[in-house]
């Protein structure tokens, strides 16, 4: 008999924590408990990918109607009813949270709707005052929005609040250049809100392929987003009609809403981590080894709280690898190599592997790329452009990176990701017969490199 209350205590009810708890309890017979102080489902389900993607869908219909007219349909666009949409959105999130709770209960996981902090290597204290002991503790608290210390920052909202606005603003300033800021710029613009985006850097989507992010920025501006690069907020003040924003270039403008999406931080504050010996990094992230184990052997961590690759499917994979390692006796390191991802900007971007810049810094490469007007929008007289790009190693002929900017890029990159992960060469792509007429056929018909380094 164990002298602990549980075999595993999970702190955090997001994607990584829930998956680890469910699988450990349901498939290995471990006695598992989980504590969550907020809503179950975590960032992704409650205030991230799921509601965001639904808003992306909602914002795409004006473009479809316009295109439909060019295809001979007699259709006109009425007004967008935020109340209708928002009510359905809230109901959908409630439904998903219910599913998460049911899955945990069905697997035999005991849940506590409370905040948990560490007392020692095997003990947690709940905000209810109870103490629980466990042989293993899994930290899965995720991350939170972090905002800079700018005068008037209290007048701004973040991506948490954007889903719960009482009504749509007429104008909005979005501050930031990462994928969250850029996605919401597209969403708000599509919903008919006059949208301005400030980013202090030289180009949005830092870290992604230069050519791909350049096209995304260009197309966003074509579609009506007022993008200002090399620009930041100096101060904000509440005035009649909204928030007066003074920019670093001295310009002043009033916006009905200002949304900050300038970064996220791991949720490690006031958790008792350092007191029990769990080492943290510079940004407060939990430091772990290849098996997600912290500096305290009984304590592991997965997901955004470790600030490795902050994506939902990665947190789930890390949770599964943790269960294999600890409860199945199969030590499984987490594979963070060649993870495909999609950015739901408008246009959408899909990417896997190295950018041209990163690949060129490592070894001699060939770049195969094409940019063109897709058939659907070209027929409708629109100037939208898409990009298909492969980065190839000269030495091994392996495809080191694939970058797509196009409608449906996320769906395409999932499948291209399999080939790249398997180590496909350019010749493997070439041997694949094209599917015609689709945009993605360009990936297998790129004959000669456009440049070499």
pLDDT in tens, 287-299: 999 999 999 999 9
Q: What are phi and psi of 10, to 5 degrees?
A: -105, 130
Give residue-wise pLDDT tens across range 49-78: 999 999 999 999 999 999 999 999 999 999
Give me 178's structure tokens: 């990462």
Give residue-wise pLDDT tens across range 181-209: 999 999 999 999 999 999 999 999 999 99
Within this chain, do residues 133 and 206 fall inside the same structural domain, yes or no? no
SS3 at position 81: coil
Distance of alpha carbon 276 from alpha carbon 296, whole angstroms: 8
2, pLDDT greater than 80: no
Within this chain, do residues 311 and 398 fall inside the same structural domain, yes or no? no
Give me 228's structure tokens: 């200002």
Within this chain, do residues 252 and 279 fall inside the same structural domain, yes or no? no
pLDDT > 90: percent of the chain = 100
Of 216, 234, 262, which residue is a domain's last? 262
Q: What is the pTM of this model?
A: 0.96
Is residue 334 one of the residues assigned to a domain?
A: no
Question: Residue 321's pLDDT band (boundaries 50, 70, 90)?
Answer: very high
254, pLDDT greater than 60: yes
| Alpha-carbon torsion (422, 428, 430, 433), positive or negative | negative
Within this chain, do residues 256 and 270 fall inside the same structural domain, yes or no? no
Q: Note the pLDDT of residue 322.
A: 98
1, pLDDT greater than 80: no
Within this chain, do residues 86 and 105 fall inside the same structural domain, yes or no? yes
Q: Note the pLDDT of residue 67.
A: 96
Is residue 277 one of the residues assigned to a domain?
A: yes
**CA-to-CA separations, 350 to 117, 271, 336, 380, in angstroms, rounded:** 38, 36, 17, 24
Q: Note the pLDDT of residue 249.
A: 92
Within this chain, do residues 347 and 247 fall inside the same structural domain, yes or no? no
Check 122, 136, 403, 436 and give the catalytic one. Answer: 436
Is residue 1 one of the residues assigned to a domain?
A: no
Within this chain, do residues 297 and 347 fall inside the same structural domain, yes or no? no
Is residue 332 one of the residues assigned to a domain?
A: no
Is residue 362 one of the residues assigned to a domain?
A: yes
Give residue-wise pLDDT tens across range 216-243: 999 999 999 999 999 999 999 999 999 9
Q: 385-412 burial string, b = 16+ CB within 10 Å, else e? A: bbbbbbbbbeeeebbbbbbbbbbbbbeb
Give residue-wise pLDDT tens across range 88-146: 999 999 999 999 999 999 999 999 999 999 999 999 999 999 999 999 999 999 999 99
Q: What is the CATH number of the domain that holds 55?
A: 3.50.50.60
Give residue-wise pLDDT tens across range 324-383: 999 999 999 999 999 999 999 999 999 999 999 999 999 999 999 999 999 999 999 999
Within this chain, do residues 250 and 273 fall inside the same structural domain, yes or no? no
Q: Which domain covers residue 354, as residue numbers?
A: 341-452
Helices (H), 71-170: 82-106, 159-162
Q: How many domains does the chain have?
A: 3
Within this chain, do residues 431 and 377 fall inside the same structural domain, yes or no? yes
Q: Note the pLDDT of residue 9.
A: 98
Within this chain, do residues 111 and 219 fall inside the same structural domain, yes or no? no
First CA to last CA across the chain, in angstroms?
A: 63
Is residue 336 one of the residues assigned to a domain?
A: no
Question: Residue 259's pLDDT band (boundaries 50, 70, 90)?
Answer: very high
Q: Do 83 and 346 touch, CB atoms closer than 8 A?
A: no
Q: What is the DSSP letter of 321?
A: H
Q: Note the pLDDT of residue 196.
A: 98
403 a catalytic residue = no
């Amino acid at each position: 008999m164990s002298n602990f209350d549980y075999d595993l205590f999970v702190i955090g009810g997001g994607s990584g924590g829930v998956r680890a708890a469910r699988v450990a309890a349901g498939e290995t017979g471990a006695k598992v408990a989980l504590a969550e102080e907020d809503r179950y489902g975590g960032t992704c389900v409650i205030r991230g990918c799921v509601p965001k993607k639904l808003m992306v869908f909602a914002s795409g219909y004006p473009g479809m109607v316009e295109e439909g007219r060019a295809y001979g349909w007699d259709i006109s666009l009425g007004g967008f009813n935020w109340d209708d949409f928002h009510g359905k959105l809230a109901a959908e999130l409630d439904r998903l949270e219910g599913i998460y709770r049911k899955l945990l209960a069905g697997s035999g996981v005991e849940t506590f709707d409370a905040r948990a902090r560490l007392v020692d290597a095997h003990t947690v204290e709940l905000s209810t005052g109870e103490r629980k002991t466990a042989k293993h503790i899994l930290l899965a608290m995720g991350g939170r929005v972090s905002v800079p210390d700018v005068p008037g920052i209290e007048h701004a909202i973040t991506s948490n609040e954007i889903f719960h606005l009482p009504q749509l603003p007429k104008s909005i300033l979005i501050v930031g250049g990462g994928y969250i800021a850029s996605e919401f710029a597209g969403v708000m613009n599509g919903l008919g809100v006059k949208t301005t985006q400030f980013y202090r850097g030289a180009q949005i989507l830092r870290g992604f392929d230069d050519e791909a992010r350049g096209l995304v920025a260009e197309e966003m501006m074509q579609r009506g987003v007022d993008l200002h690069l090399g620009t930041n907020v100096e101060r904000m003040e509440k005035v009649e009609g909204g928030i007066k924003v003074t920019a670093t270039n001295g310009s002043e403008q009033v916006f009905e809403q200002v949304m900050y999406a300038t970064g996220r931080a791991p949720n490690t504050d006031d958790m008792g981590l350092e007191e029990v010996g769990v080492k943290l990094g510079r940004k407060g992230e939990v430091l772990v080894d290849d098996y997600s184990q912290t500096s305290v052997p009984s304590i592991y961590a997965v997901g955004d709280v470790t600030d490795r690759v902050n994506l939902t499917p990665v947190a789930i994979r890390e949770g599964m690898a943790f269960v294999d390692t600890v409860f199945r006796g199969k030590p499984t390191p987490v594979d963070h190599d060649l993870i495909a991802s999609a950015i739901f900007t408008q246009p959408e971007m899909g990417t896997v592997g190295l950018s041209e810049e990163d690949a060129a810094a490592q070894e001699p490469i060939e770049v195969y790329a094409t940019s063109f007007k897709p058939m659907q929008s070209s027929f409708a007289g629109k100037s939208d452009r898409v990009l298909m790009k492969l980065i190839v190693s000269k030495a091994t002929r392996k495809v080191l990176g694939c970058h797509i900017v196009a409608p449906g890029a996320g769906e395409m990159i999932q499948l291209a990701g399999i080939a790249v992960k398997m180590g496909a060469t350019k010749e493997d792509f070439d041997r694949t017969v094209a599917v015609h007429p689709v945009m993605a056929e360009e990936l297998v018909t790129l004959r000669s490199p456009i440049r070499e380094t």
